[in-house]
Amino acid sequence: MALIITSKPESVSGRILTDLGRGVTSLAGKGMYTGQERSVLICALTVTEVHNLKFAVHKEDPNAFVVVSAAQEILGRGFNPLSDEKDTDQ
């Protein structure tokens, strides 16, 4: 999973959508040291896509701050389903 802090959310997310084919979610953020507004982009991806993500982000915003970490589990569209088909509590 990657968190990307950037002042260029449209171009960075567009590059990720195009080059990696991955979805991106944007949250509003504020740098507490600088006081500047930034976007925090969240992108779930596989380990093999990390290099391509770093390249894509750098291409659009070389000043972006990127955190890549392992996710315990990723559920939802494009990944494992949120619920087991055997669940009857719906």
- Closest by Cα among 64, 13, 71, 76 to 47: 71
Length of the chain: 90
What's the CA gap between 11 and 20, in Å, rounded?
14
Q: Enter the pTM of the model.
A: 0.85
Give me the phi and psi of 10, to 5 degrees please: -65, -50
Tens-digit pLDDT profile for residues 10-20: 999 999 999 99
Residue 86 clears pLDDT 90, i.e. is over it: no
Domains of the chain (ranges, CATH numbers): 2-68 (3.30.70.120)
